[in-house]
Every structure is written in C-alpha cells, then in structure tokens.
Amino acid sequence: MNDVQILKQKLPFEDDYENGFNHLTRFDDVYLLDGNIHQIRTKFDKSRSVKFPISKNKLVGVPNDLKIELHK
C-alpha cells in the first residue's frame, strides 16, 4: 500500500500432499479494515474467513473505519 509492504504471505503448506506446496487454495475478497487484512480462503469448495493484524505504525493516517479493497 503506497509502496509500503504491509503483509507478506506465503502459499499454504500441506504436508498431506505429495508436492508439499498446494496451489489449490484460492484467496478472495481481500480487504483492509479496522487494522486487519481480511480474506476468504477457498479450497475444495470449503471456505473460511481469516484475518491478520497489521502494525499500527504501517497504517499511520489510515482511518480504522475505511475499507480498502486489496484484491477481488
């Protein structure tokens, strides 16, 4: 965001799978709200919502109630 990295995310690791890293997980509806990155992860038609807190130092000047779409 504005050339500042706020989150570095790796693809999920599945040790059940032969290849280790699994590219079947899809990330949808990714947005920043209330100091957290929210996203929906879908794999094999099962979805779950997850969120990750972002440092307040990186969000200086960004209002908490502002929703910023990061990926659709």
Q: 22: closest CA among 50, 39, 3, 42?
A: 42
Question: Is the overall model pTM greater than 0.85, yes or no?
Answer: no
pLDDT at 3 over 80: no
User: What pLDDT, on a 0 to 100 scale, did the predictor assign at position 36?
Assistant: 92
Tell me the DSSP string of 22-72: -TT-EEEEEEEETTEEEEEEEETTEEEEEEEE--TTTTTT--TT--EEEE-
Distance between CA atoms of 58 and 63, rounded to whole angstroms? 12
- Model confidence pLDDT, tens digit, residues 8-55: 666 655 555 555 555 677 788 889 999 999 999 888 888 999 998 988
Name the residue with higher pLDDT: 6 or 58. 58
User: What pLDDT, on a 0 to 100 scale, did the predictor assign at position 55?
Assistant: 86
3-state secondary structure of 45: coil
Structure tokens, 10: 């790796």
Provide the residue ranges of all domains of the chain, joining segments of one domain with +. 26-71
